[in-house]
Structure 1
Amino acid sequence: MSTNLLTAEQAVRPNMKYVTLVSIIAALGGFLFGFDTAVVSGAIGFMTDKFALNDVQIGWAVSSLIIGCIIGAALSGTLSDGLGRKKVLIAAALLFIVGSIGSAIPETFTGYIVARMIGGIGIGITSTLCPLYNAEIAPARYRGRLVALNQFAIVSGIFLTYFINSGIASYGDDAWDIANGWRWMFGVGAIPGVLFMILLFLVPESPRWLIKQGRPEEALPILLRIHGEEAAKQEVLEIKESFKTEKASYRELFKPGLRFALFVGVVIAILQQVTGINAILYYAPEILKETGAGTNAALIQTILVGFINFVFTILSIWLIDKAGRKVLLLIGTSIMTVSLLLIGLVFHSGDISGPLVLGLILIYVAAFAISLGPVVWVLLSEIFPNRVRGRATAIASMALWAADYVVSQSFPPLLNSAGPAATYWVFGAMSLITVIFTWLFIPETKGRSLEQIEALWHKKQS
């Protein structure tokens, strides 16, 4: 009797070893994202001396990557819907490799900008498609943590890159860092780029994309390996049913129901950026120098920022399928709001305490890492219907990168003109808006299949 029960249980239990391995490989695209987010924070000071950059050029040195990311995100939906998730991700890895090497070798600032944009196109594609791919291959019960692996890879890339930056900077003196150190920081990125490209050849194509292309016979073996026979057959039927409505098009996204889903996705993507996380991550060493820390101390403290980001992202992965997406967002963004307002108050008082500012920044980063960081990417990968998921996710990702560009480009001038207090209060106000928006508009998607989530929007449409 017990043997029969065990067999029945195994029949419905997904093959998590296989799914997790595939998801980890896909999530390596997030590692590249994290590397490019962090590498410039260590290089920007040396590049400023090398190319004699002004405030606007410093912002451009950081945000030029993001222009490429916007382009990549914009292209990702149409390309992946036409060519498949896997092929487009392989192309994105190649672009990242070219961008990493190109950023390391230029003799002019313009050459650096062009290379960063090329790499940015690859990052824009991977930032959209890696979580989307994991959502499409994951069992509903475990989808949150498998998609959140992408954010774990991002913060792992950030954390490791802080160590790499610090190690390279300490290898030579200031003159060597200005001449060569920053080049090695960018060039090292080619190594994970090559690894990611090679491993992508080992993963299957998205079964949902295959069914969308009228190739269910190719999708079924993948789903059988993930779910077992009965669950796989049922999933094929549900996926087929979800494609029976109108043909995928950008126009369909603006119809009632789906229009609201797109609104939610775009707004939460923008809010993830305008709450200031990448301004702090990109410019962490320069911010910490303002509190009196020297160059080496600021780089070491930046490693601590990366460590907190890393640890609390792990906690989020553990919680996201237990507590749910909405709860994590509400708690995390509330803490972010308070932290940012207090950071602004410290700078406003003029009595700047380095340890206090560092402590508040760490609380803010921890709150982001447990909420907006992973949860937004999970939501963007799961709230859109199958037939338009590639295009809708691309639009939301493009909005996210556009917001990132505005924040990273405007942060140095804003810091110098309005001052740090006003700057952090603006980010605090955006965090408060995020709390309110989450409470009013974000649905709870924990434990629902992608097809069940799609039905939520149809209810709103009716």
Structure 2
Amino acid sequence: MASEKKHDRSSSGSRTEFEHHAATPSHTHNDTPTSSVDEADRGRRGASQKLSNPLQGLDRKRLAVMGEEYARLAGLTSDDDIRAFRIGATIAGDSIRYDNIPELTDREREVLERETTHKWSNPSLLYWMIVVCSLCAAVQGMDETVVNGAQIFYKVQFGIGSKSQRDTWLVGLLNGAPYLCCAVLGCWLTDPMNKAFGRRGTIFISCVISALACFWQSFTNTWYHMFIARFILGLGIGPKSATTPIFAAECSPPKLRGALTMQWQVWTAFGIMLGYVADLGFFFVPDHGIELGLNWRLMMGSAMIPAVIACCFIYVCPESPRWYLTKDRHQDAFRAMCRLRFEKVQAARDLFYAYTLLRAEQQAMSIGTRARIMELVTVRRNRNALVASEIVMFMQQFCGINVIAYFSSEIFREAGFSDVSALAASLGFGVINWLFALPAFYTIDTFGRRNLLLATFPFMALFLFFTGFSFWIPDGTPAHIGCIALGVYLFTMVYSPGAGPVPFVYSAEAYPLYIRPIGMSLATATTWFFNFVLAVTWPSMLAAFRPQGGFGWYAGWNVIGFFLVLFFVPETKEKTLEELDGVFDVPLRRQAAYGARQMVFLWRRLVFRQDVGKPQLPNEDGDFWREKKGLRETEGVRAKEAERDGAGRV
């Protein structure tokens, strides 16, 4: 291709302005040599700063030159394209003051202005892409929950419906089979599949696997045949769950990236609800002579419908421009970006920034995968982020939510509900789970990640205890059934805006950018593994400890989760990259001591109504924070002096 030839020529000659900047590390500290450890630390932080803002400190003239050079390097040599990249690169480096650029047309100026004032005003193709991504999330939700109602029937047909130790473990194994596959295989196929097939290709293949596995499940006649089909289903769930949010993020405008990426959690909850709808809708279908029954087969097969629809429409969407960049297909990347933006200037801006960021990432990743894995545990800043991320991902499962998601029909039947009533009550759980996930769009950035977890874990523990203890109310009474349903619903209301969306958002921002892909792979594998543990153990736990003991077990884990978050999970809301380095680069014992002081403060303030000051954050005595605090004080003094001088002149 022309773009590849031009890239080769530019790399063989003298270094361009664009390449010089891309290869230049960004340092935020003095370069005075102290030790090899300090030098390595400065290198890591410099790489992270470069990834945070690769165009920091460049003036408009230099940005314009870099934009023109990139356009020529990419083979986009028409006057219109060069103009777009010259202006786009300037805006990418200084997006706030684009209105002083005389070359902008009135239409371009209007579109750029509307990005701020009407951020939801975008080309229809972008929203079509979000619809398809949301459909993929619904596929995942249905894959997880159609088994909830189907197991009422197939476990009896397969001869594993007794409460013997063997049968309860087999029922749990069938429920957890997809998540076992995700943890040991599916998640780790994501990266090679993305490299080989692209974002669209990975999503398409994953949805094909999901559709075929769902169809396969509906034709099984033995428990081990069902296990194989559901294990294969994990090959569709794992890569799809990791790739779809990435695809949405890479195609979205900067102002909408967070909101559109959060759609995954919301529409997965919607798919969970659809799974319960399918269970209830096919419940009364007669067998029509089908061996071992027909209704549960339709339940299991219904999840293939959204997967087939997603397969039909995924290639209507353009491929991720960023993926094209990784393959040096710059012209294809620009064409794809132009389809997702109103004006070429917007497309050139976002593509130029994406390529600059990609070059910075390649530089940061040059230390090697093995070294980066080691730095997860050898560098304190990374180790503390790892601890916090693993805590929240572990607690997302061990708070007990998927006990209800996978076994709610069995739980309600245990409470005395009829089969139909149990499925209807499960649908109520699905509706609440979806509706109460919507406030997370607002609360996660206003109330804070840590605060949401600290506020919700005690209530989740309380409501699970309430649900479990309600089984001691005499059977057959309205209070017995009503209290159990109420406890489940209240627990879900508290979970959905807290422990549901927070873990993935927290893990995505806790790690430094140069090590984030490895950290997120580990985080995703962790949540799927403990998802499997929960699914496979619950039937046996229910048989051994009864509902009171089972719900009490997970209520106790919510109490433990509260203290783990209190002592080891710092807040990351609205923190810059350098601030996050300061937040995590403190000894864990100091973070734990802060948590203890915070608990005493809240107890004295809220219970005894005492007027006491907030405890100091554990990272506020570091060099960065002292420098920042001193700068703020200096600015405050200067402002007061200026105000006093102005008053004197008047």
TM-score range, shorter chain: 0.7 to 0.9
Q: 2:122 aligns with which of 17, 37, 42?
A: 17
Shift of 1:190: 1.8
- CA distance in 2 between partners of 1:423 and 1:347 (Å): 11
Aligned to 1:124: 238
Q: SS state of the match for residue 84, structure 1?
A: helix
Query: Which letter maps to 1:114?
Result: I
1:94 is paired with a residue of what secondary structure?
A: helix
Task: Tell me what 1:296 maps to.
Answer: 420
Task: Give the number of the structure whose alpha-carbon radius of gyration is greater.
Answer: 2
Aligned counterpart for 2:301 among listed residues 164, 169, 187: 187
Q: Describe the superposition over 1:278-304 as per-residue Cα deviations: whole angstroms up to 9, x where unpaired.
A: 111111011011221111111111111
SS at match of 1:169: coil
Specify the SS of the correspondent of 1:42: helix
Tell me, what secondary structure is at the counterpart of 1:245?
helix
Q: Does 1:372 align with 2:511?
A: no
- Structure 1 stretch 93-102 or stretch 434-443: which is displaced more? 434-443
Partners of 2:171 and 2:115 lie apart in 1 by: 57
Q: Is the 8 A contact 1:24 1:149 kept in 2?
A: no
Is residue 2:395 matched to residue 1:271?
yes
Relative to structure 1, the CA distance from residue 283 to residue 209 in structure 2 (aligned partners, 3 Å threshold; closer, same or farther) is same
Instruction: Render the CA deviation track for 1:145-165: whole Å, top value 9, x for unaligned.
Output: 322211122111111121111
Alignment of 1:167 with 2:281, yes or no, is: yes
CA distance in 2: counterparts of 1:178 and 1:359, whole angstroms = 35
Deviating more after overlay: 252-261 vs 37-46? 252-261
Aligned counterparts of 2:456 and 2:205: Cα–Cα separation in 1: 35
Counterpart of 1:38 in structure 2 is: 145
Partner amino acid, structure 2, of 1:378: V
Distance 2:129 2:333 in 1: 15
> Aligned residue for 1:253?
373
Q: Using the TM superposition, give the Cα deviation of residue 334 of structure 1 relative to its aligned residue in structure 2, in angstroms.
A: 3.3
Q: How far does residue 177 in structure 1 lie from its aligned partner after superposition?
A: 10
1:153 alignment partner, one of 245, 267, 281: 267
Q: Where does structure 2 lack aligned partners over 5 or more consecutive residues?
A: 1-98, 100-105, 161-166, 587-650
Gaps of 5+ in 1: none
The equivalent of 1:143 in structure 2 is 257
- Per-residue Cα deviation, 1:54-103 (whole angstroms, up to 9, x for no partner): 21221122112222222211222343355533322221111111101110
Shift of 1:117: 1.0
Map residues 303-452 of structure 1 onto 2, 5 A cutoff.
303-347=427-471, 353-384=480-511, 389-442=516-569
Kept in 2: contact 1:211–1:219 (CA 8 A): yes
1:243 aligns with 2:357: no
More displaced 10-residue stretch of structure 1: 378-387 or 42-51:
378-387
Answer whether contact 1:212 1:387 (CA < 8 A) is retained: no
Tell me: CA distance 1:211–1:45, structure 2 relative to 1, closer, same or farther (3 Å).
same
CA distance in 1, matches of 2:282, 2:187: 31
Q: What residue is the counterpart of 2:169 in the other structure?
A: 56
SS in 2 for 1:418: helix
Structure 1 residues 434 and 205: CA distance shift in structure 2, 3 A: farther
Greater CA drift, 32-41 or 200-209: 200-209
| Cα pair distance change 1:392/1:98, threshold 3 Å | farther
| Segment of structure 1 superposing worse, 394-403 or 342-351 | 342-351
Aligned residues: 458
Q: Contact 1:273–1:400 at 8 Å: present in 2 too? A: yes
Question: Aligned-pair distance for 1:422?
Answer: 2.2
Question: What is the CA distance between 1:209 and its match in structure 2?
Answer: 4.2
Q: Which moved more, 1:340-349 or 1:352-361?
A: 340-349
Name the structure, 1 or 2, with higher relative contact order (CA <8 Å, separation 6+): 1
1:82-231, aligned counterparts within 5 Å?
Answer: 83-139=197-253, 141-172=255-286, 178-213=292-327, 218-219=332-333, 225=340, 229-230=348-349
The whole-number CA distance in structure 1 between the counterparts of 2:134 and 2:511 is: 20
Pick which of 4-13 and 141-150 moved more.
Answer: 4-13
For 1:165-186, what per-residue CA distance to the aligned partner results, in whole angstroms no more than 9, with x for missing partners?
A: 1111122379979511111111
With 69-78 and 38-47 compared, the bigger mean Cα shift is at: 69-78
CA distances 1:102-159 after superposition (whole Å, capped 9, x unpaired): 1011222222111111112111221222223334444454333322211122111111
- CA distance in 2 between partners of 1:427 and 1:80 (Å): 37
Shift of residue 267 of structure 1?
Answer: 2.9
Separation in 1, partners of 2:578, 2:207: 31
What is the RMSD of the two structures over their aligned residues, measured on CA atoms? 3.2
